[in-house]
Amino acid sequence: MTPFAHPLVDRYLSELAELLAGVPVADRAETMAGVSEHIEASLPAGHTDDDIRRVLEQLGPPRAVADEAYASFRPLDAQRTEVPNPRHWMPILACVLMILALLVLLVIFAGTPGSTETSTTSSDASGHVTTTHVDHLDPQPGLLLLVGAVATGPFWLAATVLALLAPTWRSRERTLVIALVPAIILATSLLPWLGGAVGGVTGQTLMAWLSLLLMVGTGVLLVVLTRCALSRASAVPDGG
Amino acid sequence: MVPGEDSILTHLRRGALEYCVLAMLETEELYGFDIARRLDDTLIASEGTLYPLLARLRKAGLVDTTWAESTEGPPRRYYAITRSGHEVLGVFRPAWKQFRDAVDASLDHRGGSR
């Protein structure tokens, strides 16, 4: 905004700008632009100081203009809040779908035996038959990964699409929401196997419990992320 | 004007002025300056208060603004009513009539419709 050549106008405008300091930037700019335009349009080519004073008087004191800008009584704005906010169902549904995916994974995980039993029967020279049962650690990471991915896939895909469409999450939050389930699938497939390889039965069992905990933790984290985003969205009035 | 009347009018204006501005834009697009000049003194004491009001109307989606090249200087803002603005006027007119009649009846000590 180029300053007027005239000190009277400049003083008026700077006083108005100061009084409007608490108003949102866009609104302040719009009001200032309108008032400046009005002054320019009001003044004829060869205007005098008296002309300027007259125009400024008709504009009214800067305080009156600022008061109008701060007016809390806005009957027209009230109408907009009646429109229901359709955006909230998307993140909620996305969160629910991700949790469903986690539940599916949990069922698969619980149903996959961590070991296979082999029995060998042998008989020795005196006809004594012994059957030995041996438990081999068989956490089946590949199988878990495959079945897990396939079974949770549809839920995760639907949830991802919703997460991408919903404007509610910030981009970092959204990435986290989308990446959590695949990460958990990987973790629950690989951890028990790694545990078994390093620490035998104890290791595998420990890692299995850890995977379970991680699954629960992921569910909680998803809910927290969704609730945070939703409360942030409702705190800010629509539009504007 | 006596001081008391000022504050009464200010309060009355709050409710109605926005609709009067919308009505002015019902049939033509106008510069803010034109709107200010056409408004009766009773409706607006300080012409400057029109501009925050217009900003409010624009934010509420009731008016649109376009920039028009002006031969007299920099481009100027044109205000035009929107479909929503027309709808709001359609709601305000009967409401205002009802309100005005009720106030008149009270002031004239006529019986109410209750």
Q: For residue range A114-130, list pLDDT tens digits in order.
A: 777 777 777 777 777 87
Question: What tokens appear for A140 in the block?
Answer: 């089946």
Give the pLDDT of residue B90.
92
Searching chain A, which residue's CA lies closest to the CA of residue B33?
A38
Q: Do B88 and A34 touch (CB under 8 A)?
A: no
- DSSP category for residue B73: E
Hey, is the C-beta of A64 within 8 angstroms of any chain B C-beta? yes
Question: Which pLDDT score, from 0 to 100, does residue B72 have?
Answer: 66
Give the pLDDT confidence of A136-150 residue by residue, as tens digits.
Answer: 777 778 888 888 889
Is A79 part of the contact surface with chain B (CB cutoff 8 Å)?
Answer: yes
Query: With a threshold of 0.90, does the pTM exceed it?
Result: no
Is A118 strand, coil or helix? strand
**Averaged confidence pLDDT in chain B:** 87
| Residue whose entry in the numeric block shows the structure tokens 């041996």 | A134
Tell me the Ramachandran region of residue B48: left when phi exceeds 0, alpha when psi lies from -120 to 50, beta otherwise. Answer: alpha
What does DSSP assign to residue A136?
E
The burial of A190, by beta-carbon neighbours within 10 Å (0-12 exposed, 13-18 middle, 19 or more buried), is given as middle
CA-nearest of A175, A174, A173, A206 to A192 is A206
